[in-house]
Structure 1
Amino acid sequence: MMPQDLKDPNFVLFWKNYGNIIVPIVTFLLGFFTQFFFMSKKDRFDASERLQQHVQKLQNDHNDAYEKYTSVMGKVINKDGKLDVNDFIRISTSGENYFRTVKSISEAILEGNFKKSTIKDVLSPLVRDALHVLPIHYDKLLEIAEKNNFDGQKKLNKENYRSLYLVAEKYPEES
Structure 2
Amino acid sequence: MHILFRASSILFTTGWLLLSINLHATSTTSIATSTTPNTAPSTVLVTIELNKYLGGTQGKLNNKPALNFKFTDTNGSANNTCSIITTDNYLRHSKNRLENINLSESNFYFDCQWDGTYYFLSNRVKTYAEVIIKQPDSQFPMSMHIEAKLVSLTGEQANIVSGDISLRRQAK
TM-score range normalised by the length of the shorter chain: under 0.3
Structure with the larger helix share: 1
Structure with the larger strand share: 2
TM-score, normalised with respect to structure 1: 0.25
Rg larger for? 1
